[in-house]
């Protein structure tokens, strides 16, 4: 069947209708979408593109942030973690604690100067005595009899000297009339001088024996306390003058003021001057301070210990301190201008000298040499090399080198908190 069959079945066709404007413009006879439909399509396409971009950004940016954070965390984890400390501003005076031995201001063993038997003692162990107080009496009859003999010899010598003087005076008068020769006068005058010398010798012997007799009574040479009594009534006392061994009878110590000797290290020797204030602390008296003053020093450094011997006097009128005790001496040694105090845990000991590790604003380490001053145990005074406010590495590791970047972490609290 040909293509003309449907037209033929429809009947005769009429004349063709005139073509409209749209049909004349589109010779192919196709119809395009309206303008509003086209703008809506473009908007939908742009919205879809924006949504796709937003979804891409929303997925990529967090991933980039995570990657950046991981990179930063990995970089920080590779850096050594250190703790920072800041030097403390020291004052013009710092306290130095040194060990010291308390000693009596005056300490003397009491011996006998004459031999005999102890008749009586008047001061026992721990007794407080005044200067000149009688401590004991010794009975020595030999000295008493020698003194009697000496006084008799003195009387004889005095009488002979007076007789010889009278005879010499008579010879002098007789010589004026030539009744005696010059030789007789010279003999008489010489004899008178010799007799006077013998009388003086006898007088000196009497004084010596009187002095020995006075030693039968033993007196306290100063005010203090009896720290030892080594004799008793009836014991034989040997003065040691007859090749014997003298024995200490009493031991006396003056404790109203006590001396405390300390060995000041050489680095503090310039500050350990007379007049520096001090105080003592004792383990048996916790929390109590006993004030004192540095009164003198040796003005010489001991070559063996490199220390300066110094004396601190402490008022002990209350009698709370005991001679021979051990004490901690706290000296307020002035350092002039305020200084920087660095904890000893921040020090770096190297062959080139003492250093500290400072941290700059870029968290980089610099090993700075310092000049140390006084050592206070937990802290060290720095004379030069540091500025106030500089951060230092506390407990620096041995692997720390110049210019190394570090990560500063907060210090841990003690006690595990």
Digit-coded pLDDT (tens) for 1-42: 444 444 444 444 444 444 444 444 444 444 555 666 667 777
Which residues make beta-bridge pairs with 96?
331
Query: Is the separation of the CB atoms in 185 and 175 below 8 Å?
Result: yes
Ordered structural domains, the chain, with CATH: 81-92+338-411 (2.40.420.20), 98-102+254-334 (2.40.30.170), 112-139+216-248 (2.40.50.100), 141-214 (1.10.287.470)
Measuring CA to CA, which residue among 314, 331, 333, 336 is closest to residue 323?
314
Q: Which residues of 337-359 are buried (b: 16+ CB within 10 A; e: fewer)?
A: eebbbbbeebbbeeeeeebbbbb
Give the phi and the psi of residue 227 in degrees, each rounded to 5: -95, -10
| Cβ–Cβ under 8 Å, residues 266 and 306 | yes
Mean pLDDT of 368-373: 85
Of 40-54, 113-127, 178-192, 266-280, the range with the lowest mean pLDDT is 40-54
Beta strand 81-85 with 407-408 is parallel
pTM score of the predicted model: 0.56
Q: What is the C-alpha to C-alpha distance for residues 314 and 399, in angstroms, rounded to an integer?
A: 51
Cα(291)–Cα(278) distance, integer angstroms: 6
- The secondary structure of 7-56, three-state, reads HHHHCCCCCCCCCCHHHHHCCCCCCCCCHHHHHHHHHHHHHHHHHHHHHH
3-state secondary structure of 401: coil
Name the percent of the chain lying above pLDDT 90: 48
What is the tens place of the pLDDT at every residue in 372-413?
877 778 888 887 788 888 899 998 888 888 888 888 888 665
DSSP letters for 169-181 = HHHHHHHHTTSS-
Element (H, E) at 137: strand 134-139
């Amino acid at each position: 069947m040909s293509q003309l069959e449907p037209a033929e079945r429809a009947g005769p066709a009429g004349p063709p209708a005139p073509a409209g404007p749209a049909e004349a413009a589109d010779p192919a006879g196709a119809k395009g979408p309206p303008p509003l439909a086209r703008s809506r399509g473009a908007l939908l396409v742009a919205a879809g593109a924006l949504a796709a971009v937003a979804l891409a950004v929303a997925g990529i940016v967090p991933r980039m942030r995570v990657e950046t954070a991981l990179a930063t965390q990995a970089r920080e984890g590779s850096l050594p973690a250190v703790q920072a400390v800041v030097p403390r501003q020291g004052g013009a005076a710092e306290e130095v604690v040194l060990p010291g031995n308390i000693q009596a201001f005056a300490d003397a063993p009491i011996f006998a100067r004459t031999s005999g038997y102890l008749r009586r003692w008047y001061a026992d162990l721990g007794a407080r005595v005044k200067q000149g107080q009688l401590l004991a009496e010794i009975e020595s009859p030999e000295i008493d009899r020698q003194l009697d003999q000496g006084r008799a010899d003195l009387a004889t010598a005095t009488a002979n000297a007076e007789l010889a003087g009278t005879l010499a005076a008579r010879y002098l008068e007789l010589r004026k009339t030539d009744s005696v020769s010059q030789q007789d006068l010279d003999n008489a005058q010489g004899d008178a001088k010799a007799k006077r010398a013998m009388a003086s010798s006898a007088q000196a012997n009497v004084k010596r024996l009187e002095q020995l007799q006075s030693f039968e009574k033993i007196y306290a040479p100063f005010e203090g306390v009896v720290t030892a009594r080594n004799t008793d009534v009836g014991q034989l006392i040997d003065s040691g003058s007859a090749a014997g061994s003298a024995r200490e009878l009493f031991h006396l110590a003056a404790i109203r003021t006590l001396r405390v000797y300390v060995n000041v290290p050489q680095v503090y020797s310039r500050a350990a001057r007379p007049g520096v204030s001090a105080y003592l602390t004792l383990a048996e008296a916790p929390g109590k301070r006993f004030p004192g003053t540095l009164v003198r020093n040796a003005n010489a450094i001991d070559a063996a210990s490199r220390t300066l011997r110094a004396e601190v006097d402490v008022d002990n009128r209350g009698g709370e301190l005991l001679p021979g005790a051990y004490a901690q001496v706290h000296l307020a040694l002035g350092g002039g201008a305020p200084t920087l105090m660095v904890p000893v845990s921040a020090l770096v000991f190297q062959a080139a000298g003492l250093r500290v590790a400072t941290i700059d604003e870029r968290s980089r380490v610099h090993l700075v040499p310092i000049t140390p001053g006084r050592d206070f145990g937990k802290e060290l005074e720095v004379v030069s090399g540091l500025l106030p406010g500089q951060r230092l590495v506390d407990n620096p590791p041995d692997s720390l080198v110049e210019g190394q970047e570090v990560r500063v972490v907060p210090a841990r609290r003690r006690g595990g908190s």
